[in-house]
Structure 1
Amino acid sequence: MNEVNPQPENGYTRIANELLEAIISYPFTKAELKLILLIIRKTYGWNRKKVSMSYGILSNLTYLNKRYIKKVIYKLIKDKVLTKEKDNKKNILGLNKRYHQWRLNIHTQKDTTGVSCRTLPGVLEDTPKGVLADTSILLNTERNRDKERFKETNPHSKFSFFKPKTQTLRKYSKQPIHIRELISLIS
């Protein structure tokens, strides 16, 4: 029976703790994390900054579909987590070690039951239902104000509730946030 006994003498990947902590704190999906760790292994594990890999090789090493890998890599490049150069048919990929440039897209979910929220410094007391109770009150009052304004301008309109809202929490939450801002909010 072969015993597994990994030792640093048999090879290791050298990575800065600060970069590793940024990767840990960023909300990557499982596929994104697999690809990032693979690229770290193939670059920093061999003392390189970039590696030339095709989607087929990435697929074989991560057991992910090639098409899905293309989508995930495109998203990681768009979010400035990975860097990419094109060389003939292979992609030259690397990790952007300037993690403060990474973009974080926060999307609100319809079902928020079971979501825990940490109270930020400066907030004295949490509401019984958490942050969602306060935001729903704010959104409802804003919605009511919009309805009243629309009724004043168009008193005969039957569809006053279809008025587009100028700025809502959902619209605001889809804006990208840099990870440095997120870390400063948490710490």
Structure 2
Amino acid sequence: MASPQVEKGFIRIANELWNEILRRNFSKRQLNLILFLWRLSYGTGQKDCKIEKFNQLELAGMYKQDVKKELEHLRECAVLNWDEKTMVFSINKNYKMWQITPNKNWDSEKFDSLIHLNLSRKKVSETPTGRKQEVSKTLTYKSGRVSKLLTMRLVKYLPAPNGKSIVPRSSSSLKTVLKTLKIKDIKREEEDTHAHKENPFVIYEQNFGILKPILRDSLIAWCEDLGDDIVIAGMKLAAQKGGYSFSYMEAIWKEWANQKLETLDQVRAYELEKRNRKNNKVTPINQRIKPKKESSYLLDKYREV
């Protein structure tokens, strides 16, 4: 009889990543590849994995001729990091870069309600006494005896979707806590929606043209170094100045990186200071416009008057 236990090994993956996998419209072969790579990377305690030959990926349930095609597609969609020389693979955890369309049947509100429903089902488990006798059905706390009825006073911390604990203040606060979690989830969903609209890859292709694979790798690196918001700000600044080449944008990003700008506020303040310095620049003496000398005729007329 099978008896899987976490003590024998498990894959540690954030719930946020699982939610995004469910939300996106991956094909069966793509899902098999992602799970296969996760098992070989996170399942072995590493961030990436090495697969020497393509035919070894047939274990994921596809033919050899389909493996490379799916790998290239996942890499172009910024889901997969793949070094062809070393044959090292990893899944890009920054799912905001993924260019996989969402599942049309996905409903974040319904999914969150299911999460909250199952979180509320958690009960205090029956604790064994440590003897050979049957498990005690009464809850004990130090030397005293606790009622079998569960109250909010026994629940010291409530689990939240983001992994942080929430401390209820009164026995009637469970509904308040769940409602608070709901509001936070809605706000987070709105922020995620805004982030999806501000996808640097989408903005680039909508305004500057098709992004080639080599440039895509460079853009991913810049997003990891500076962040999506600052990268997008560099694109907008380049467009305002009439520079539509990728090298022009990189010059802007390099300048900001050298100045160690880490937030949009710092970027705006830096660019504003640059403009002010340019506008207040003193014109050299030899370039200043000299006043025209009046003719001697006009001077004579003035003296006569």
TM-score (norm 2): 0.34
Kindly state the Cα deviation for residue 117 of structure 1 after the two structures are TM-superposed: 9.1
- 1:39-91 per-position Cα deviation (integer Å, ceiling 9, x unaligned): 011101111111111211111x2131011011111110010000011235xx2
Please identify which structure carries the higher strand content: 1
Query: Which of 70, 84, 87 pairs up with 2:85?
Result: 87
Structure 2 Cα separation of the partners of residues 46 and 116 of structure 1: 34
Q: Aligned runs of 1:1-187 on 2, under 5 Å?
A: 3-53=1-51, 54-59=53-58, 61-87=59-85, 91-105=87-101, 180-181=192-193
Please identify runs of 4+ aligned residues in structure 1 that moved more than 6 A: 115-118, 182-185
Distance in 1, Cα, partners of 2:106 & 2:89: 36
List runs of 5+ in structure 2 lacking aligned partners.
108-191, 198-305
User: Aligned pair count?
Assistant: 112
3-state secondary structure, aligned to 2:82:
strand
Q: Which amino acid aligns with 1:56?
A: N
- Secondary structure of the residue that 2:41 maps to in structure 1? helix
Cα separation, 1, equivalents of 2:20 and 2:14:
10
CA distance in 2, matches of 1:57, 1:101: 28
Whole-Å Cα distance in 1 between the matches of residues 9 and 62 of structure 2?
25
Matched residues in 2 for 1:49 and 1:117: separation?
29
TM-score (norm 1): 0.53
The one-letter amino acid paired with 1:104 is I
CA RMSD of superposed structures (Å): 2.7
For residues 182 and 30 of structure 1, do their structure 2 counterparts lie closer, same or farther at Cα, with a shift above 3 Å needed? farther
Q: Distance in 1 between matches of 2:105 and 2:23?
A: 16
Rg (Cα) greater in structure: 2
Change (3 A) 1:79 1:5: same
Q: Distance in 2 between matches of 1:182 and 1:7?
A: 40
2:96·2:196 contact (CA, 8 Å) conserved in 1?
A: no
Normalized per residue, the structure richer in helix is 2
Task: Return the alpha-carbon distance in structure 2 between the equivalents of residues 45 and 23 of structure 1.
Answer: 17
Q: What is the SS of the residue equivalent to 1:94?
A: strand
Q: Distance in 2 between matches of 1:117 and 1:73?
A: 25
- Report percent identity of matched pairs: 30
Kindly state the Cα deviation for residue 105 of structure 1 after the two structures are TM-superposed: 4.4
